[in-house]
Structure 1
Amino acid sequence: MTDVALKRSFGERLPAYSGFAAVLSGAGLPIYIYAPKFYADTYGASLTALGAILFGLRLFDVVQDPVLGWIAERLRAARAVAVTLGAVLLALSMVGLFAIAPPISPLWWFGITITGLFTAFSFLTINFYAQGVAKAGNLRGGHVRLAAWRETGALLGVCLAAVAPTVLGESFAQPYAIFAWGFAGAAMAAAIAMLPEWRSDGAQDPTPIKEILNDTMARRLLILALVNAAPLAVSSTLFLFYVESRLMAPGWEGPLLLVFFLAAAGSSPMWGALAGRYGEKKTLLAAMGLAIASFAFVLFLGAGDQWAFAVICIVSGATIGADLTLLPALFAKRMAVISPNGGQGFGLWSLVSKFTLAFAAVTLLPVLELTGFETGADNPDSALWTLTLLYALVPCVLKTVAVALLLATNLKED
């Protein structure tokens, strides 16, 4: 990026979008990776019970996220205040989840704090992406350029959140508590940086959800996002267990997560450039094929293969950069046409994105437990082989389905 382009981007306040996206991503995927294992290791919570709580929360989201989208569209005049309050709830929930010893049953405390965390996460995400629809309309490069800044920031935020507990654990007795307090400070700083961006042009009537779902392209993009996100949800849910118990490489979790998400962040500009040259559909198909190949290689790994797995993390991480950059940009383009307010549409998008993670947790964690798998224990070969199949084969199948859906979807590329 040239100095002129960089100055223009700062003038357009795109770094504020990157920073806000970084905070949101830090509250999303890493929490699904770390929170269940943290509560299982620290408080002896059942993996099945934790998975059930996460799935129950997603059932709640079926009602909550569309309602939050409706509220987001009607709070235009007070959006800055509402988002700031949401950021406060996000920060407090993170502190409660990791930095405060449960004053009640750990499972109840986990449920309360994770509900607060993801309610705030949903509300902030819906407003953030809806605001992006309006922002991109007046931005050179439009939705793809905004998505590149936003999703690069999001992936860098994931990198920091993913590696922070491991790095902090080398010097501090309570790394998760320190991470939680640091996250709370970052959340408030990001909210302040974004304050000038929230539109205050008065209340507007929301677009009915039925109207969005009746749109063929919007509906297909939502279905594609659901299926395509499922492989990442599966690998994220099982990542820590796979590295610790299948690769027999405790201590490698943080570095491998960092490699994975850095590859995703570093690849985002590349995928945006390729999409501009070859079209979003061809670019996504290429990334999906590469993802299937990388997951397939995992089936042949075992104890001591952490270096080979690191290479796979680089390749598979790069493919995630395409998913997280191009699919939201495509959906935002469609929302600009059929639902300029964006709130209801991104309420559905938020629901789809989170549902895959919860569904993975409620199905995979009990299956592991039924095979006799125990975190940090000497597990039987049958349990380890089940872990490998769940981690590698299931994503291959899901990604293949996503390829078929994309091939059948008309993106109306110019």
Structure 2
Amino acid sequence: MEHGTRLGLHRYTAFAGVLAAAGLPLYIHAPKFYVDRYDLSLSAIGVALLGLRVLDFAQDPVLGWVVDHLGAWRGVFAGGMTALLALAMVGLFAVTAPINPLVWFTLCLAVLFTAFSALSILFYARGISKGNTLGPEGHLRLAGWRESGSLAGICLAAILPTLFLYADFSAPLALFALVFCGAAAAGAVLMRQEWHADTELPEQGSVAALLADPILRRLLLVGLLNAAPAAVSASLFLFFVEYRLGHETAAGPLLLVFFVAAAVSVPVWARIAALRGVRWTLLAGMGLSIIAFSFAITLGQGDVWPFALVCLASGAALGADMTLLPALFSARVERVHGAGGQAFGLWNFCSKLTLAIAAATVLPLLDQSGFSTVLPNPPQVLWVLTLTYAVIPSVLKSIALVVLYWTPIEESCHA
């Protein structure tokens, strides 16, 4: 730990936490917040999220090109984008919508997603250069520090609003947005030295050249399929706990169990991967996730403690996904294509696309089933909730497992 701190890896941990807090947790809190406060429909929110990802489709490759050509302006660019990220979070949760709530929701997220994309691409591209300085297993080592920070950020962002609510704050998400601003400022200060480090980011080939690499295409596909279950469950987690299990107040502790399990599992998965191989370790983690989601299918009213076991197992499985796949991707890009932003423009887009597809499909599906947040839901509607929360992720994860099994990752791309 001390040696890693001397190498500056703690800076990657801190900044990864800030980025992660602005990513997946938004899909946990934002849809329910705007449904409860402004009475927006789930279908409208899902369509808005999908539309925002269409924007990402156009801008992520452009942002990747920009990152490749920033040079000495990396620090200025990172600082500006961090400020935009924080301001967008405040607008989303701490400002009463001054215009149509759906339009305001869309505008705030458009700014937030753009800043998030730019910072993520720069951050992970920078990590390639950093990983090259850390020895033969540098990418895996950096991934362990970085993704531990990511999981800590997700964990805090997921549970802080609930804790603020328990503490009787009148606007818990507004307070969370302000706390996020402070964390973003601290992360930007810590990371400043890394943006200005002497090592340069070698410019890499075109997007077409990257996509022509069959191993890289497989890794992108595995990343897309493997992230989808987490995206689906994140979008529906609060709804599942409150309406399927009938225990709204358990959401905070259950989220804590899930993300703490993920964070604790990261060094364990990294150690197993170093000893047994990355591919088989990933397969084991994905299998654990499938078992957990399959068990969730059987749950109903009052099954809070069994669901805590589901959160424990699926959280541990998430630790493998978040640690090993980025390490594999970084190593492949560095070894075959050189470092740079365009590869992570593609990776970033695939990761976010899963969240958008999840929100644009499962939320409208639940809405069309007759689901209600104010009236009792009949058994068939609750079954649709279970279907979207547990069955769909199990199927998607199974497909990802098959693709990974037939991908010769380790033979071509050692982490």
Normalising to structure 2: TM-score of the pair?
0.96
Residue 381 of structure 1, CA deviation? 1.2
Residue type at the aligned position of 2:120: T
- The alpha carbon displacement at 1:10 in A equals 1.1
1:100-154 deviation per Cα after TM superposition (whole angstroms, max 9, x unaligned): 0000000010000011111111100000000000000001440000000000010
Query: 1:351 aligns to what?
Result: 349
Q: How does 1:243-258 map to 2 (within 5 A)?
A: 243-258=241-256
Shift of 1:201: 6.5
For residue 222 of structure 2, what is the aligned residue in structure 1? 224
Question: Aligned to 1:252, what secondary structure does the other structure show?
Answer: helix
Q: C-alpha separation between the residues in 1 aligned to 2:373 and 2:257? A: 23
State the partner residue of 1:180. Answer: 177
Partner Cα separation in structure 1 for residue 410 and residue 191 of structure 2: 33
**C-alpha distance in 2 between matches for 1:202 and 1:297:** 48
Contact 1:212 1:338 in 2 (8 A): no
Q: Which amino acid aligns with 2:24?
A: L
Match of 2:148 in 1: 152
Q: Within 1, Cα distance between the matches of 2:359 and 2:2?
A: 43
Spell out, residue by residue over 1:312-345, the C-alpha distance to the aligned partner (whole angstroms, 9 max, x if none): 1000100000000000000000111233232000
Question: Shift of residue 254 of structure 1?
Answer: 1.3
Whole-Å separation in 1 of the counterparts to 2:404 and 2:3: 35
Identify the residue that residue 114 of structure 2 maps to in structure 1.
Answer: 119
> What is the aligned counterpart of 1:93 among 88, 95, 107?
88
Corresponding letter in the other structure for 1:129? Y
Write the distance in 1 (CA, Å) between the matches of 2:163 and 2:237: 17
Q: Report the Cα offset of residue 396 of structure 1.
A: 1.0
1:393 counterpart = 2:374: no
**Structure 1 residue 389, shift from structure 2 partner:** 1.0
How far off is 1:378 after superposition?
1.3
Post-superposition Cα deviations, 1:217-268, rounded to whole Å, max 9, x if no partner, equal 1111001100111111111111111000000011111111111011001000
Q: What CA distance in whole angstroms lies between the structure 1 residues aligned with 2:200 and 2:300?
A: 58
Q: Structure 1 counterpart of 2:32, which letter?
A: K
| Percent identical | 51
Give structure 1 stretches of 5+ with no counterpart: 1-5
CA distance in 2, matches of 1:56, 1:184: 26
Alignment of 1:371-382 (within 5 A): 371-382=369-380
- Alpha-carbon separation, structure 1, partners of 2:296 and 2:365: 19
Identify the residue that residue 157 of structure 2 maps to in structure 1: 161
SS where residue 102 of structure 1 aligns?
coil
Q: Which residue does 1:14 correspond to in 2?
A: 9
> What's the offset of the Cα at 1:377?
3.2
Which residue in the other structure is 2:23 paired with?
28
Aligned twin of 1:3: none
Q: How does 1:26-65 map to 2 (within 5 A)?
A: 26-65=21-60
Worse overlay, 371-380 or 43-52: 371-380
Asked if the contact 2:224/2:351 (under 8 Å) is kept, the reply is yes
Partner amino acid, structure 1, of 2:139: H
Match of 1:196 in 2: 193
Task: For residue 412 of structure 1, give the secondary structure of its aligned residue in structure 2.
Answer: helix
CA distance in 1, matches of 2:163, 2:95: 20
Amino acid at match of 2:225: V
Query: Matches of 1:66 and 1:351 in 2, distance apart?
Result: 9
Q: Give how far 1:170 is off.
A: 1.8
Q: Partner letter of residue 155 of structure 2?
A: C
1 CA distance for matches of 2:204 and 2:66? 9
1:391 deviates by 0.8
The CA distance in 1 between the partners of 2:105 and 2:120, in whole Å, is 22
* Structure-2 separation of matches of 1:245 and 1:110: 25
| Distance in 2 of aligned mates of 1:202 and 1:290 | 39
Q: Is 1:242 aligned to residue 240 of structure 2?
A: yes
The 1:305–1:10 alpha-carbon spacing in structure 2 relative to 1, beyond 3 Å, is same
RMSD: 1.2
**Correspondences of 1:328-339 after superposition (within 5 Å):** 328-339=326-337
1:78 partner amino acid: W
| TM-score scaled by length of structure 1 | 0.97
Q: Tell me, in whole angstroms, the C-alpha distance in 2 between the residues paired with 1:402 and 1:22.
A: 26
Q: How many residues end up aligned between the 2 structures?
A: 409
Shift of 1:203: 8.4
**Partner SS for 1:155:** helix
Distance 1:202 1:286 in 2: 36
CA contact (8 A) 2:231 2:354 kept: yes
How much does 1:55 deviate?
0.3
